[in-house]
Amino acid sequence: MPHSSLRALCFCLVPAVLICNARQPATAATPEPVFLYSVRKGDELIKMSAESFSSPDDWKEIVTLNKMKDPNAIQPGQILKIPTRLMKLFPLNATLVSASGDVQLGGIKAGVGTAVPEGSKLQTGRNSSAVLELADGSRVTLLPNTLAELATSRSYGLRGDTAVSGSTNWFSGLMRLSTGVLETLAAKNVKRNSPLQIETPTSLVGVRGTQFRVAYDDPVSQNARTEVLEGNVRADNPAQGSGTDLPEGKGSVFNAAVKAIAVVELPKAPDLSKVPDLIFKPQALWPMPATTSYKIFRTQIAGDRNFDNIVRDVVVKQGNADFADLPNGQWFARVRSIREDGIEGYDTVKVVQVMIPPQPGQPARQWTITGDLLEMIDGKQVLRFGHAGLDISHAVVASVKLARPPFTRIGRAVFKGDVQDIRIELGALEANEPLELNLTVAQQDGALVFPVDYAFAALATAARADGALKRLTGQASTSPAMSESATQTQAERTKQTKAEAAEEARQRAEELAIARAGEKAQPTAAPIGKVEAKAKASGLPKSKPRKNPGKKPRSP
């Protein structure tokens, strides 16, 4: 690439977060951008020139710039100033790691794994989202109705570095946002020629290792906003020549016609503890939290806890989010408050279920367990419970797992909604072993629902415990009122690997296929692992359906 093209790029190479306009050439008033290189053992300037600079003779300019008497007398730890225009350039592709709905690259539909070269434009449609992984490991999420360009994605190598040796290359990246919202998680401990930058028509935001949002989604005001969730960023208004540092928990609004920049606090994560986690159709209205400070909220729905696949993104101004067009099943919802100036705050995540209407004449209620009992029989532990809220068409898989890695399943029951007395044999367990009960329901229309999970602990003595199951909250943070065993269970579940989660989902899908085929209750433990084998061999008598499922079951 000609030197004149490289000069047009602005790189901020000092340790401080400093932003330059990436499209303005260096002038007499603007010092030429330089790379501050710390000499390593074995470095030779003339050899470096041949391997890493545009010309083998570029070492001569380095000698002059650094006022060196002897080009061969460089020592480890010595700092050399190297103009970036002299360094070899390696373009780097980004990768589309998630694509949900209508995602297009250069006007063509794009899918997971698509390479995104420098200069490419990505666009997401309504109810669509995409996650772009940059060459330095940073991830940029494009929310619905977003158009952005990967304007710069390149590295400058030293000592024989190539475009594939990202661990030693110095990366430079710039995303240009035309409309919509970008949520960025910048990789930490990465060598960069300049801060990772997000540019809008009215702002330029640069960051080194942090999590932040940049939005340009209001065509009327033409405001851009920046919200810093973690770390620090530098944000500038090039049109006004103004800028500000934004630390964690702060945000600002930028407008090309306004020089002053106000730095404000981000709203705290809203409390969703009183917001229902069940949404009944056909209305499917989900109430927002009641607060005195904020009346407007952004609500996003995704099929995964990481929100890589966002399928709904709505701003709620009237107190209820309308999800009537959302398919039945389990979803992850995150909600954040919005200030009057448009600045958005921290998220709270909650698991919600969208369900078909209840049967005619039946009250709209969430399915839950009733009358649970944990007891010891011949040295083996048995869990029994009833249920309320299911109808005869529902198929259910109930699994009990250890609430610690590797989350081994020790018992299960597969049953239909007309079975009232569920019995799961758990076998011999360590005293106070933390356990978890997962319940998966298939509705009449085939939609999967995960109504609620429960935590409990194995008995410590040959006794029984009524009401041992404690519900696990669906929110990201645990409730102070949650029992110690439930808190421990939820903490351990966060350690589950993707492979373990995938295997669990596969098992549930297979079992639900059996349940939907019409299989009745199976109170024996699933033959997985030594503990389950013991449970299967326990020879416990079969339970009988209770006449009144509202009462607690008695010990056989």
pLDDT tens track for 163-220: 333 334 577 889 999 999 999 988 776 666 567 889 999 999 987 668 999 999 887 8
pLDDT value at position 326?
87
Percent of the chain as helix, strand, coil, to the nearest 5: 10, 40, 50
Q: What percent of the chain has pLDDT over 70?
A: 71
Determine the 3-state secondary structure of 529 from DSSP. helix
Q: Which amino acid is at 435?
A: L
DSSP run (H or E) holding 488: helix 484-493
Q: Decide: 328 and 209 in contact? Cβ < 8 Å.
A: no
Sequence-separated (6 or more) residues with CB below 8 Å from residue 523: 413, 422, 423, 424, 425, 542, 543
* Token pair 């110690």 in the structure block, residue: 484
Mean pLDDT across the chain, nearest whole number? 77
Query: Would strands 409-416 and 211-216 be described as parallel, antiparallel, or unpaired?
Result: unpaired
- For residue 206, the tally of other CB atoms under 10 A from its CB is 24
Q: Which range is most confident: 106-120, 271-285, 362-376, 449-463?
A: 106-120
Sequence-separated (6 or more) residues with CB below 8 Å from residue 445: 328, 356
Token pair in block for residue 192: 């960069």
Which of 395, 380, 268, 384 has the alpha carbon at shortest distance from 335?
Answer: 268
Report the alpha-carbon distance of residue 357 to residue 418 in Å, rounded.
18
pLDDT value at position 115?
95
pLDDT value at position 529?
34
Report the alpha-carbon distance of residue 132 to residue 303 in Å, rounded.
18
In terms of Cβ atoms closer than 10 Å to its own Cβ (0-12, 13-18, 19+), residue 132 is buried
Q: Decide: 384 and 473 in contact? Cβ < 8 Å.
A: no
In terms of Cβ atoms closer than 10 Å to its own Cβ (0-12, 13-18, 19+), residue 451 is buried
362-365 contacts, C-beta under 8 A, 24 or more apart: 362/391, 364/280, 365/389
Report the alpha-carbon distance of residue 206 to residue 195 in Å, rounded.
5
Token pair in block for residue 37: 């290189």
pLDDT value at position 98?
92
Digit-coded pLDDT (tens) for 372-422:
999 999 889 999 999 877 777 788 888 899 988 878 889 989 888 888 899
Which domains does the chain show, CATH number per domain? 3-86 (3.10.350.10), 89-265 (2.60.120.1440), 278-355 (2.60.40.10), 368-536 (2.60.40.10)
The pLDDT-based confidence of 497 (bands split at 50, 70, 90) is low
Q: Decide: 433 and 441 in contact? Cβ < 8 Å.
A: no
* Token pair 């010990």 in the structure block, residue: 555
**447 or 100: which leads in pLDDT:** 100
Report the alpha-carbon distance of residue 549 to residue 387 in Å, rounded.
7
Instruction: Flag the least confident range among 92-101, 116-125, 153-162.
Output: 153-162
Using alpha carbons, list the distances in angstroms from residue 469 to 81, 453, 482, 485, 495.
Answer: 65, 9, 11, 9, 22
Token pair in block for residue 335: 């909600």
Digit-coded pLDDT (tens) for 128-144:
999 999 988 889 999 99
Angle at 256 between CA 251 and CA 258, to 5 degrees: 70
The model's pTM? 0.60
Digit-coded pLDDT (tens) for 206-225:
876 689 999 998 878 889 99
Report whether pLDDT(116) > 60: yes
Report whether pLDDT(509) > 70: no
Report the Cα–Cα distance between both ends of the chain, in Å, rounded: 82
